[in-house]
């Protein structure tokens, strides 16, 4: 995969403007041009910035955030009508997710269910803090990072990870939160409003995240008979994660081999024989409190199980505790640190992990793929 981005040309912008005028909507115009809606939107935004839609080009360093139109009625009265991009609703996000899946070019070719599977095994693929859309520059002391680079690292690493695991009957693709680096058009954290360095427009980032999750699911279907998917919210993507989950439900609703967990809880609990698993992002409840929460909220499953584990993300490092017979651990991310975290002295090794559990014997195997940083010159 090439790491270079395709440059949006003036011809791209001109064709987008003409198509929009002819067809009246972005969806119809994008379809007529044969490009994904998110690509079409990028062309239109560039056309705005370059003055190709009938108003002067925007000064360098600025972007169009709204339009004012002078309306004249039949009586000759004139009025300015001002519009600007508003906050993206969950419905808008879900539509963007559907558009993203429509434009997905699968690399993991669908195959028949695997043979010679082990009925007693379940494998959990940990998606920990992928932060798709994070932008970083090596001259600020970090590794270069953007959407193409993230995909170029995660896709082969995930293929290697899935290839290394046993053919377990069941697998879980478990998103521990912060799948996306941003939650909307404003590049800030939803809670504290800290500024974030992001790679492009929000629909572009959402599309890339959706492609990576679907790529992972398609890989897992080649190795496991049944795939359970749960995407938990994080502090960076509390609403976007919901949209991705809903989009996945729609996409796989007729596939009996894929189950998308539609629970909106910030916690996930699941039983596999004598194994009880739990997960949450890690920005709310403390690690030391999670064993008691697991027992209090799952009394029946607690009594039926012997091996109990809770998975968290958020801190981007491999750490854990064991309390009252429950192992609680956090996981590394495959993505490099951004400038803010680097300037604060934060940093960790990068990897992705899969854990296999036996119904009767608990955890029996871990597979890990390390992500090796390549320094730019």
Are 333 and 128 spatial neighbours (Cβ–Cβ below 8 Å)?
yes
Percentage of the chain lying above the pLDDT 90 cut:
55
In the predicted model, what is the mean pLDDT of the chain? 86
Residue 29: pLDDT band with limits 50, 70, 90: confident
Look at residue 54 and tell me whether its pLDDT is greater than 70.
no
Report, as an integer, the average pLDDT of 99-126: 77
Q: How far apart are CA 276 and CA 296, in angstroms?
A: 13
pLDDT in tens, 161-206: 999 999 999 999 999 999 999 998 888 899 888 889 999 888 889 9
Residue 75's pLDDT is what?
64
Q: What pLDDT shows up at residue 107?
A: 45
pLDDT of residue 152: 94
Please give the model's pTM, rounded to 2 decimal places.
0.77
Handedness of CA 211, 125, 148, 95 (dihedral sign): positive
DSSP 139: G
Counting residues of the chain whose pLDDT is more than 70, the rounded percentage is 83
Q: What does the pLDDT read at residue 4?
A: 47
Choice between 106 and 296, residue whose per-residue pLDDT is larger? 296
Mean pLDDT, rounded, for 250-277: 95
Query: What was the pLDDT predicted at 371?
Result: 92
d(CA 331, CA 315): 8
E-only strand ranges, the chain: 66-72, 78-84, 118-127, 168-175, 226-231, 258-260, 268-272, 275-279, 307-312, 319-323, 326-330, 351-358, 362-370
Q: Which residues contact 156 (CB under 8 A, 6 or more apart)?
A: none
Tell me what the mean pLDDT of segment 126-141 comes to: 94
What domains can be seen in the chain, in order of their start residue? 10-84 (1.10.10), 90-370 (3.60.21.10)
**Which residue, 290, 285, 324, 288, is CA-closest to 310?**
290
pLDDT of 67 over the 90 cut: no
Mean pLDDT score, 326-349:
90
- Tell me: the pLDDT tens digits for 286-336? 999 999 999 999 999 999 999 999 999 999 999 999 999 999 999 999 998
Q: How many CB atoms lie within 10 A of CB 271?
A: 16
Task: For residues 228-238, give the mean pLDDT.
Answer: 97
Identity of the highest mean pLDDT range in 48-52, 149-153, 372-376: 149-153
Q: For the chain, how far is it from start to end, CA to CA, in angstroms?
A: 20
Comparing CA positions, the residue from 204, 207, 197 lying closest to residue 102 is: 207
The residue behind tokens 């909507």 is 25
Contacts 24+ apart (CB under 8 A), 246-251: 246/90, 246/94, 246/97, 247/94, 247/97, 247/98, 247/100, 247/101, 247/210, 248/97, 248/213, 248/214, 248/217, 250/98, 251/98, 251/101, 251/214
Bridge partners (DSSP) of residue 355 are: 124, 366
Instruction: Report the pLDDT averaged over residues 16-28.
Output: 84
């Amino acid at each position: 995969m090439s790491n270079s981005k395709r440059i949006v040309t003036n011809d791209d912008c001109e064709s987008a403007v003409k198509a929009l005028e002819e067809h009246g909507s972005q969806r119809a115009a994008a379809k007529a041009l044969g490009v994904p809606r998110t690509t079409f939107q990028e062309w239109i935004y560039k056309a705005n910035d370059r003055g190709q839609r009938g108003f002067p080009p925007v000064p360098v360093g600025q972007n169009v955030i709204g339009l004012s139109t002078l309306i004249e009625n039949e009586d000759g009265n004139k009025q300015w009508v001002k519009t600007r991009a508003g906050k993206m609703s969950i419905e808008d996000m879900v539509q963007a997710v559907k558009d993203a899946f429509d434009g997905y070019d699968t690399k993991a070719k669908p195959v028949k269910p695997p043979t010679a599977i082990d009925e007693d095994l379940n494998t959990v693929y940990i998606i920990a803090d992928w932060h798709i859309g994070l932008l970083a520059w090596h001259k600020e002391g970090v590794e270069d990072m953007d959407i193409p680079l993230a995909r170029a690292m995660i896709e082969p690493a995930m293929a290697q990870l899935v290839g290394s695991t046993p053919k377990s009957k069941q697998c879980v693709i478990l998103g521990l939160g912060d799948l996306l680096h941003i939650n909307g058009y404003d590049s800030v954290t939803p809670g504290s409003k800290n500024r974030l360095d992001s790679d492009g427009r929000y629909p572009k980032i959402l599309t890339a995240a959706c492609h990576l999750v679907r790529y992972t699911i398609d890989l897992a279907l080649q190795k496991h008979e049944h795939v359970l998917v749960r995407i938990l919210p994080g502090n960076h993507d509390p609403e976007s994660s919901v949209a991705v989950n809903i989009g996945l439900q729609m996409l796989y609703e007729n596939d009996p081999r894929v189950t998308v967990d539609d629970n909106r809880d910030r916690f996930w609990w699941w039983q596999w024989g004598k194994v009880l698993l739990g997960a949450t992002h890690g920005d709310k409840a403390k690690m030391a409190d999670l064993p008691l929460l697991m027992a209090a909220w799952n009394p029946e499953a607690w009594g039926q199980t012997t091996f109990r584990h809770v998975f968290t993300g958020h801190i981007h490092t491999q750490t854990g505790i064991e309390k009252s017979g429950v192992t609680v651990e956090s996981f590394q991310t495959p993505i490099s640190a951004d400038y803010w975290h680097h300037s604060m002295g934060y940093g960790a090794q990068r990897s992705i992990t899969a854990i296999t559990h036996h119904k009767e014997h608990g955890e029996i195997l871990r597979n890990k793929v390390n992500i090796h940083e390549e320094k730019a010159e």
